[in-house]
Amino acid sequence: MEKRKGQGGNGMRFHAGNLWENLFVVILALYPLRHIYVGLDLWDTGYNYANFTYMGMEHMDPMWLFSTYLANSVGWLLTKLPRASTLAGMNFYTGLFVTVLALAGYFFCTRKLRIPKGIVFVGELLAESLCWCPTALLYNYLTYVLFLGAVILLYQGLTLGKKGYLAAAGVCLGANVLVRFSNLPQMGLILAVWAYDLILWLEGRRLAGGKGLGREKGPDRVVPFWQRLLQDTGWCLLGYLGALGVLFSYIHLRYGLGEYAAGIRRLFAMTEHATDYTAKAMIMSVIGTYVENLYWVVRMGVILAAGLVLFGVAGWLEGRLLQKEEGIPEGKSDNGTGKRRTAQGRRQNRRQRLLWGSVQLLWVAVSIGMVAWLYARGFCSFSFYSYDSIWRPGPIFLMLTMGMAAVRIFHPKAPKEEKLISGLVILVILLTSLGSNNKVLPSLNNLFVAAPYTLWQGWRFWKLGEHKIGPVTLSAFPAKGLLAAFLALCAVQFGCFGARFVFAEATGVQDSSGVVENNGVLGGMGMAPEKARWMTQISQYVSENHLQGREVILYGQIPSLAYYLQMPPAFNSWCDLDSYSLETMRTDMEELEARLWDTEAGENEPAASREDFPVIILENLYGLELEGYVDDLKGTLGRLAQEAGPKLQFLQEIASNPAAGYGLGKSLALGTDAKWGLIQAFMEEYGYRQTFRNEKFAVYERE
């Protein structure tokens, strides 16, 4: 009876392979959604969801609206989907972008790069685990989706010779400029196009005996190098400019290009206040991270060098044992028949196996010892809810990836397609971090091709044999042992980090046992019990006083309240960001006052009703400052400083600590905060009074 596919033989293996792949796909699709009900972030998450919900010139900072326009537009569309009015629902929808990244990376690596499926699955799972950034930041994740699309299309276009793919890649990169304006450096992917054209030219010269100028098209015709270069660049540029033209035309029709230009000009002016966003600062922070981690690379390199010496000595001993066993003088060869006595051969083999087995076992112990030493020296921690667990392994993993890729690029026997993907991997790692002040963390968030590539190259390296240089065997085992140990460390750290870490105010969630019962947006979310208490109290106040839908001014690192409480920002929900300048805030507040006054009536009181005035919600520290607590604190510290003597330096260090959320340093800085001064003046002029306060928030309304 004829066997059907999927029954016995090769068919059964094929069917089993499909089952494994289906399982891989399901896991990769669902894994990004593991934390949609965990954690409450008062910073970035709700801030971005508020921008999606209240997208437009009325409630958003134009600089942020236009510099991340496509991300905000896609986010706005998501808010129209079922259950998108809840935090968990929006987390679900934005989490699907990670799913798209992982599945696109998986199918590209398995179908086009022919990397074994199991290796790709592990690599994609690690890439998902390293997505530390909240998925609410669509200007990051939509960037990564289009960037990955450009990489895949460039690879297909260049290796298949299809120009349409190159134009489509240009469309992805052009659209990415509207996703996040700082994506401009991604045009650096054109370097891969030029490099591949150069490889084709060199290959054409070799095939043509060194006389050709390009790849042959016929018996006597070749394509000149510059012609190929201009053609490929032109197709990429066509797609790039075409995407920009279409998107700018739409923005012009809806807002006017003048508004867009004004917003982007403010983006460039932002660096005067947020100095960590200058091009020099961003580049130096990336370089500094790699240089800092050379400390560990050098020490691991010393261990590797010791291993090479150890195995070199073992190879030399093997040669001496062989010469002694056969009775051949040192430096002489056996010119006899080559036959050995059976007993002598067995003794020789046993000694060889014992020698190499002992050395290899010793090196396995050294490799494990290196990992233990790294943990003992604080290389990384088991605090998987924080960045400490990946902060050093991550950059070194990136360095390892780029090192492997560079080796393959310059390896004379590497296929040109492998050289291409190796170059693309390097470019993606380097370009992803540009435009961010988070050092190399963005690159760690975008490893959906690089992580499988690294594991693949490591697996191929493990399959390499040994090389002989004269009588000495040059073993790759030391490098294999250390590589396996380091990758195992990375797998543990990255995997556990992904399972545990949930972003919250730039740290991580440690306790998510608290819930908020009286807020529909936060329904079902687990959070720290203290946050649950804060949000329950203020949600009850907002509900009882029917404040939903009222405009709000937020100050004090609490921008997410605009979304969580469903209160549209009067002009910007994160006024205390350095990128939101004092001059811009002054202009926005003047425009707010103009809306509140009936200037034609010439009255001394604004025409707007009490309900038309925005509610002001402050972090409680600012409320304490209004009540004079900070002045009392400064006076107390002054007396302590006079009496403490040596403790004065300690007090100054606390006072200058910008990370002291609602601690002493921030308290002392309130008096020098000019934007806070604008809010105080507004509150005094229009008679605001405190109507609610708890440990975290203080609410003020006009009397």
Tokens matching residue 200: 């084709």
Whether pLDDT at 185 is above 60: yes
Q: Which tens digits make up the pLDDT trace of 2-13?
A: 444 444 445 445
What percent of the chain stands above pLDDT 90? 70
Whether pLDDT at 333 is above 60: no
| Nearest residue to 94 (alpha-carbon basis) of 102, 84, 104 | 84
Q: What is the pLDDT of residue 652?
A: 52
For the segment 440-464, the average pLDDT, to the nearest whole number, is: 96
Within 13 Å and on the Cβ side, how many CA atoms surround 150? Answer: 31
Whether pLDDT at 645 is above 90: no
Q: Which tens digits make up the pLDDT trace of 122-180?
A: 999 999 999 999 999 999 999 999 999 999 999 999 999 999 999 999 999 999 999 99
Q: Which residue has the higher pLDDT, 498 or 578?
A: 498
pLDDT band at 671 (very low <50, low <70, confident <90, very high): low
Tokens matching residue 483: 């590589």
Q: How many CB atoms lie within 10 A of CB 578?
A: 13
Whole-prediction pTM: 0.90
| Residue partners of 389: CB distance under 8 A and separation at least 6 | 380, 381, 382, 383, 493, 496, 497, 501
Q: Which tens digits make up the pLDDT trace of 465-486?
A: 766 555 555 789 999 999 999 9
| Nearest residue to 165 (alpha-carbon basis) of 179, 144, 151 | 151
| Nearest residue to 196 (alpha-carbon basis) of 479, 459, 29, 421 | 421
For the segment 477-503, the average pLDDT, to the nearest whole number, is: 97
Q: Which tens digits make up the pLDDT trace of 549-566?
A: 999 999 999 999 999 999
Q: What is the pLDDT of residue 609?
A: 82
Amino acid type, 553: I
CA distance 6 to 16: 8
pLDDT band at 420 (very low <50, low <70, confident <90, very high): very high
Q: Environment class of residue 461 by beta-carbon count within 10 Å: exposed (0-12), middle (13-18) or buried (19+)?
A: middle
| Residue partners of 642: CB distance under 8 A and separation at least 6 | none
Q: Which residue has the higher pLDDT, 273 or 267?
A: 267
In the 8-state DSSP scheme, what is residue 580?
Answer: S
pLDDT band at 627 (very low <50, low <70, confident <90, very high): confident
Q: What is the pLDDT of residue 623?
A: 87
Whether pLDDT at 669 is above 70: no
Overall size of the chain counted in residues? 703
For the segment 371-381, the average pLDDT, to the nearest whole number, is: 96
CA distance 236 to 154: 9
Whole-Å CA distances, 598 to 603, 606, 608: 8, 6, 8
Q: Environment class of residue 329 by beta-carbon count within 10 Å: exposed (0-12), middle (13-18) or buried (19+)?
A: exposed
Weakest-pLDDT range from 261-275, 333-347, 571-585: 333-347
CA distance 583 to 161: 52
CA distance 154 to 211: 29
Strands 615-619 and 552-555: parallel
What percent of the chain stands above pLDDT 70? 82
Whether pLDDT at 325 is above 60: no
Q: What is the pLDDT of residue 345?
A: 58
For the segment 581-595, the average pLDDT, to the nearest whole number, is: 93
Q: Which helix (H) or strand (E) holds 702?
A: strand 697-702
DSSP string, 421-480: HHHHHHHHHHHHTTT-SSTTHHHHT--TTHHHHHHHHHHHHHT---EEETTEEE-SHHHH
Q: Tell me the average pLDDT of the chain.
A: 87
In the block, tokens 């998925």 appear at: 135
Whether pLDDT at 414 is above 90: yes
Q: Which tens digits make up the pLDDT trace of 512-525?
A: 999 999 999 999 99
| Nearest residue to 269 (alpha-carbon basis) of 432, 61, 69 | 61
Is 514 strand, coil or helix? Answer: strand
Q: Which helix (H) or strand (E) holds 530?
A: helix 529-544
Largest CA distance in the chain: 118
Q: What is the pLDDT of residue 353?
A: 80
Q: Which helix (H) or strand (E) holds 697?
A: strand 697-702
Weakest-pLDDT range from 201-205, 343-347, 363-367, 429-433: 343-347
Strands 467-469 and 472-474: antiparallel
For the segment 452-457, the average pLDDT, to the nearest whole number, is: 98
Q: How many CB atoms lie within 10 A of CB 327?
A: 8
Whether pLDDT at 617 is above 60: yes
For the segment 636-640, the average pLDDT, to the nearest whole number, is: 59
| Residue partners of 117: CB distance under 8 A and separation at least 6 | 17, 20, 21, 24, 110
pLDDT band at 321 (very low <50, low <70, confident <90, very high): low
Tokens matching residue 60: 């958003």
Do residues 147 and 432 touch, judged by C-beta distance below 8 A? yes
Do residues 448 and 102 touch, judged by C-beta distance below 8 A? yes
pLDDT band at 223 (very low <50, low <70, confident <90, very high): confident
For the segment 229-234, the average pLDDT, to the nearest whole number, is: 96
Tokens matching residue 367: 């490799």
Whole-Å CA distances, 365 to 113, 245, 463, 478, 694: 35, 60, 21, 11, 56
Whether pLDDT at 632 is above 70: no
In the block, tokens 């370097």 appear at: 191
Q: Which tens digits make up the pLDDT trace of 71-97?
A: 999 999 999 999 999 999 999 999 999
| Nearest residue to 61 (alpha-carbon basis) of 243, 201, 262 | 262
For the segment 658-685, the average pLDDT, to the nearest whole number, is: 69
pLDDT band at 344 (very low <50, low <70, confident <90, very high): low
| Nearest residue to 688 (alpha-carbon basis) of 620, 624, 629, 615 | 615
